[in-house]
């Protein structure tokens, strides 16, 4: 549903870098925490599909970390989703992805940090790893600042600076680049956060250590950055003409008729643009509240149906908008922890199992036999089950030889090969999530293999980058490696809730 555009004037910054590993997360998270400590209400955002960094952002700000992905959701939803998350905030900080101009492979600038910065009309702060250079930093910064005249690089933060003399050389060189230095960070080991096969270890797996890491990032940014200069730059962001996305309103818009199912060799038709506008709702413990105090409950709406959503350390990957859409569609969303809870929440009518790291917790998940049996029993009743990536592994017979739920006739194992990238997909069969022909864009990110890779009835026909069938539709179960963002197709949530209600 589209309403008349409004003007979004929240001050905002995009934290970018020439490449991955330059220090974006340290600077962005530290800046969020430092400004929050000053009493500002900071809205945290992350460019791209990543689930892990937003967990650190939430820890730094006390607010839900939200993603801005122009590939998964379309460029037309970046502004509305940003406005949804930033409503009522004093400032928004957006952490970029990869190198500033790196986006979806083969798609030009699409979904890059630069692209999102332009969509948000936001100034960019470039974080540069200066550890192995001095005068060359000026050429590097000049190149990034001048490559696209629509991207406004308003300052640079120098990271991993070795000494006072090194800082002096860097500042002297940058005087000719015309980009002000807004911060200098020295090498400090305690801001390092542990990583493993899929990047940083999520906050949920290291709560106390994560709190210490965020505090160290904040202290380093406070010590080394010109916070007033950064705030002044943020206040110079141009007004953004869009209405905030709203879960209920996006569901109220009439869904388009399903697209015909194309063969995998044919060109997929372009889906209609469907910008919506959700109002914030509040996951437990985080402060995303409607400033008007209005509840997102439509008059005369039917009783809620209870949907259990997997959480805890093994299942940390979820976009906040999914729970908001389920709630707006009439669900009571209840979180459970498959590592510790031996039963599903009472009255569960549907189950959502998102991404995470079941391979790390395979022994503990396998040992929780009562819950595995409860999940299998729920699926046998034809209650809707939606599983993405980690959820797919959990529904298999085995994961690395350890028994899982046995809902799917498939086995999973770890692999040395990293599968990573955006996917263009079409639903090849009707399911609890979508009718055949529904086109969605997704993202894969795993080091596991499921055999077979698709069931007798597949979930998706992946069209790009390679053509293949993927995932499983089995009775009321939809399981796939693809991470999708339901804001791009709100009817997914509505269909799932209705199936839960009628199953």
> Which residues are known to be catalytic?
389
Enumerate the H helices of 69-135 as residue ranges. 75-86, 113-120
Cα dihedral: 145, 52, 296, 333 (round 10): 160
Which of 282, 299, 392 is closest to 333 using CA atoms?
Answer: 282
Rounded CA-CA distance 85/241 in Å is 15
Contacts 24+ apart (CB under 8 A), 160-168: 160/23, 160/129, 160/130, 160/131, 160/185, 160/186, 160/187, 161/130, 161/131, 161/185, 161/186, 161/187, 162/131, 162/186, 162/187, 166/130, 166/134
Contact between residue 16 and residue 123 where contact means Cβ atoms under 8 Å apart: no
- Token pair 């709630």 is found at 327
Q: Is 188 exposed, middle or buried (0-12, 13-18, 19+ CB in 10 A)?
A: middle
Residue 432 CA: distances (Å) to CA of 11, 350, 491: 41, 10, 11
CB atoms within 10 A of CB 453: 14
Spell out a b/e string for 263-288, using b for 16 or more CB atoms within 10 Å of the CB, else e: eeeeebeebeebbbbbbbbbbeebeb
| Composition of the chain by helix, strand, coil, percent to 5 | 30, 25, 45
CA distance 8 to 87: 9
DSSP state of 459: S
Closest CA to 104 of 448, 355, 464, 484: 464
DSSP 148: -
Spatial CA neighbour of 156 closest among 129, 121, 183: 183
Nearest to 84 by CA among 265, 239, 334, 291: 291
């Amino acid at each position: 549903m589209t309403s008349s555009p409004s003007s979004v004037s929240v001050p905002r910054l995009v934290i970018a870098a020439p490449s991955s590993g330059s220090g974006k997360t340290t600077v962005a998270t530290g800046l969020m925490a430092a400004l929050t400590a000053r009493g500002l209400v900071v809205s945290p955002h992350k460019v791209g599909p990543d689930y892990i960094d937003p967990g650190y952002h939430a820890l730094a700000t006390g607010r839900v970390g939200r993603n801005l992905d122009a590939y998964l959701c379309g460029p037309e939803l970046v502004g509305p989703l940003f406005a949804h998350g930033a409503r009522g905030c004093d400032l928004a900080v957006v952490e970029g992805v990869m190198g500033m101009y790196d986006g979806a492979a083969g798609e030009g600038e699409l979904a890059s940090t630069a692209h999102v910065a332009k969509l948000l009309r936001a100034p960019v702060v470039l974080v540069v790893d200066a550890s192995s250079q001095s005068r060359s930093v000026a050429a590097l910064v000049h190149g990034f600042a001048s490559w696209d005249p629509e991207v406004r690089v308003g300052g640079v933060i120098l990271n991993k600076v070795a000494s006072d003399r090194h800082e002096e050389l860097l500042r002297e060189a940058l005087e000719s680049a015309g980009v002000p230095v807004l911060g200098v960070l020295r090498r400090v080991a305690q801001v390092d956060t542990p990583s493993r096969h899929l990047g940083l270890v999520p906050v949920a797996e290291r709560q106390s250590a994560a709190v210490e890491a965020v505090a160290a990032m904040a202290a380093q940014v406070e010590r080394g950055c010109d916070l007033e200069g950064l705030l002044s730059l943020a206040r110079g962001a141009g007004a953004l003409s869009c209405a905030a996305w709203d879960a209920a309103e996006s569901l109220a818009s009439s869904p388009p008729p399903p697209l015909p199912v194309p063969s995998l060799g044919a060109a997929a038709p372009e889906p209609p643009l469907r910008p919506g506008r959700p109002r914030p709702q509040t996951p437990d413990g985080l402060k995303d509240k409607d400033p008007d105090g209005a509840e997102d409950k439509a008059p005369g709406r039917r009783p809620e149906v209870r949907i259990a959503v997997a959480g805890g350390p093994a299942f940390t990957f979820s976009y906040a908008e999914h729970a908001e859409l389920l709630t707006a569609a009439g669900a009571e969303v209840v979180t459970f922890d498959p590592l510790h809870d031996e039963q599903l929440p009472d009255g569960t009518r549907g189950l959502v199992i998102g991404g995470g790291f079941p391979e790390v917790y395979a022994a503990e998940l396998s040992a929780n036999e009562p819950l595995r049996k409860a999940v299998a029993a729920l699926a046998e009743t034809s209650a809707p089950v939606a599983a993405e990536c980690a959820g797919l592994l959990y529904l298999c017979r085995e994961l690395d030889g350890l028994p899982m739920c046995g809902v799917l006739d498939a086995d999973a194992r770890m692999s040395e090969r990293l599968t990573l990238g955006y996917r263009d997909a079409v639903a090849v069969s009707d399911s609890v999530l979508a009718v055949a022909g529904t086109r969605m864009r997704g993202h894969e990110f795993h080091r596991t293999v499921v055999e077979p890779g698709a069931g007798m009835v597949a979930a998706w026909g992946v069209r790009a980058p390679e053509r293949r069938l993927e995932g499983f539709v089995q009775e009321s179960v939809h399981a796939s490696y693809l991470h999708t963002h339901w804001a791009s197709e709100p009817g997914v949530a509505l269909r799932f809730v209705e199936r839960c209600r009628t199953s």
